Structure 1
Amino acid sequence: MTRLTLPALGLCLALPLPALALDLESMSDVERGLFRAEVRAFLLENPEVIMEAVAVLEEREKAAKELADVELVRANLDELLNDGHSWEGGNPDGDLVLVEFIDYRCGYCRRAHNEVEQLIEMDGNIRFIVKEFPILGQESELSSRFAIATHQLAGDEAYKSAHDALITFKGQVNDTSLLRIAETLGLEGQSILDHMQSDAVTKVIAENHSLAGRLQISGTPSFVMGERMLRGYLPLDGMMQIAEAIRAN
């Protein structure tokens, strides 16, 4: 009886699947049984091989997902960068664009807020775009409608003030609290509330939800940096590293 050595078995395991299938088909039942026994014995003696194979598979799946995300971003790039209604900050002529899909009631969005601000300030060469994407209920919807209405009626600076106030607000969001926020910011609160349910505001939210759907975004915060999709919260150091990697390529 010929027994496969571990190196020989490793060579068999490394064969492309079609080649391995052909070899197995040419084996007799006895040879196939022996081969399967050898594989089982090898894996039992070397279980780390399974973990190595899983790690390789996960890396391949990650790479495939990242490539698919790049294609999604490229297909929707114009709406991401030039929709005509999203607030923009940072450096308008920056060499890198960061887009954030945000929900004001999202804990991780709140956590990311200061870190995104730091990134933009420290880097100095990032164009930043905010997409209002309320997904966590009525208070999220009211918050985004207030921010968008403020933007449409009072402009960029007023939007930024409202945005910062909403992302840090800890109370219940309703007409009364929104009027207080508006008063604190020196805005015409009742005019903003009256505009919140307008078709113009509804259209912005609908378009952002449609864009998110095409990008397969279902949670917040979600970012697009360059052509890369960053799904979920990422600490400042991580965002800085990705920005550096994008520029290096």
Structure 2
Amino acid sequence: MLKKLLMACTLSLMSATAPAMALDLNAMSDEERAQFGEQVRAYLMENPQVIMEAVNALEERQAAAQAQADVDLVRQNAEAIFNDGFSYVGGNPQGDVTLVEFMDYRCGFCKRAFGEVEKLLAADGNIRFVVKEFPILGEQSLIASRFAIATKLEEGRDAYKQMHDALMSYNGDITITALRRLADTFGLNADQIEARMDADEVTQELMETRALAQRLQISGTPTFVLEDEMLRGFLPMDQLQMIVEEKRG
């Protein structure tokens, strides 16, 4: 970062003092490069605002490049993101905008995002919401996701939604005993769900979602995909709503 910043400042100085083609640092002698370095230093000391201008310009270019890269990644993986055939689809399944969330039941920011997303779906009524089980925070995360997916396979998507919501609100240690207790609360067959946790279908779903996350360069949760844009990290409901409206045009 520092090297890039110094280069940006140097280029700012070069553009301010002489045509870029007039300076070839590689063609300079050691003495000439030392003198030029002193000139750069003196210029920056007299005009420190150039440093912040260079930082801002660099960050803007990096953000724009990342945003475009994300758009390309979403386009290349659109079918797996929006229509994988196994992820839970909630909200309004026929909604005009699709919001996808990669989440982990042990993630504190995911738990915060859960309430914000629920408020968004209730307030809007025309958002298709897709949940991607992406357990990356240890064994308890993996156990929770396996139990949730097994619930979906054994008891259906409504039961999955109940279990998902309960786990997003749950703050204790995630154990098989705790998961069975939650299943009993909803009148689900805990024995059958537990027996299916290690089924091939469950493992396949987790593997495909993890592979997709790797292709999308997702390393943390929550991460959202909203139409053609990736939103990395927690966002409050009002910001999500604003981006949804932008997507609608």
Pairs within 5 Å for 1:82-161: 82-161=83-162
Correspondence for 1:221: 222
Q: How big is each residue's C-alpha offset from its partner over 1:138-182, in whole Å with a ceiling of 9 and x where there is no partner?
A: 111111011101111111110100001111112222221111101
SS of the residue corresponding to residue 225 of structure 2 reads strand
> Counterparts of 2:168 and 2:93 in 1: how far apart (Å)?
23
- Note if 1:236 corresponds to 2:237: yes
Cα deviation, residue 96, structure 1: 1.2
Partners of 2:92 and 2:18 in 1: how far apart?
50
Scaled by the length of structure 2, the TM-score of the pair is 0.87
Question: For residue 167 of structure 2, what is the aligned residue in structure 1?
Answer: 166
RMSD: 2.4
Distance 1:167 1:27 in 2: 62
Aligned to 2:8: none
Deviates further, 169-178 or 97-106: 169-178
Aligned length: 239
- Secondary structure of the corresponding residue to residue 23 of structure 2: helix
Equivalents in 2 of 1:226, 1:158: separation in Å? 27
Q: CA deviation at 1:12?
A: 4.3
Alignment of 1:40-51 (within 5 A): 40-51=41-52
Distance 2:39 2:85 in 1: 64
Moved more, 223-232 or 12-21: 12-21
1:186 has 2:196 as partner: no
Q: How far is 1:30 from its partner? A: 8.7
- Report whether the alignment pairs 1:19 with 2:58: no
**Alpha-carbon distance change, 38 to 122 in structure 1, aligned in 2, over 3 angstroms:** same
Alpha-carbon distance in structure 2 between the residues aligned to 1:57 and 1:108: 29
* Displacement after TM superposition at 1:35 (Å): 5.7
- Greater displacement, 13-22 / 204-213: 13-22
Post-superposition CA distance 1:15-39 (Å, at most 9, x none): 89852435x7899999877665544
Q: Say if 1:15 and 1:241 are closer, same or farther in 2 by CA, change over 3 A.
A: farther
Change (3 A) 1:75 1:17: farther
Q: Is the contact made by 2:13 and 2:43 (CA closer than 8 Å) also made in structure 1?
A: no
| Cα separation, partners in 2 of 1:17 and 1:225, compared to 1, 3 Å | farther
3-state DSSP of counterpart to 1:110: helix
Distance 1:62 1:191 in 2: 48
Is the 2:13–2:40 Cα contact (8 Å) retained in structure 1? no
More divergent stretch after superposition (77-86 vs 91-100): 91-100
Structure 1 residue runs of 4 or more that deviate by more than 4 Å after TM superposition: 9-12, 14-18, 24-38
1:6 maps to what in 2? none
Distance in 2 between residues matched to 1:228 and 1:136, nearest whole Å: 25
The separation in 1 between residues aligned to 2:18 and 2:31, in whole angstroms, is 23
Which amino acid counterpart does residue 235 of structure 1 have in structure 2?
P
- Matched position secondary structure for 1:100: strand
Contact 2:70/2:229, CA 8 A, preserved across alignment: yes
Question: Secondary structure of 1:89's match?
Answer: strand
Identity %: 54
1:239 Cα deviation from its structure 2 partner? 1.3
**Paired residue type of 1:125:** N
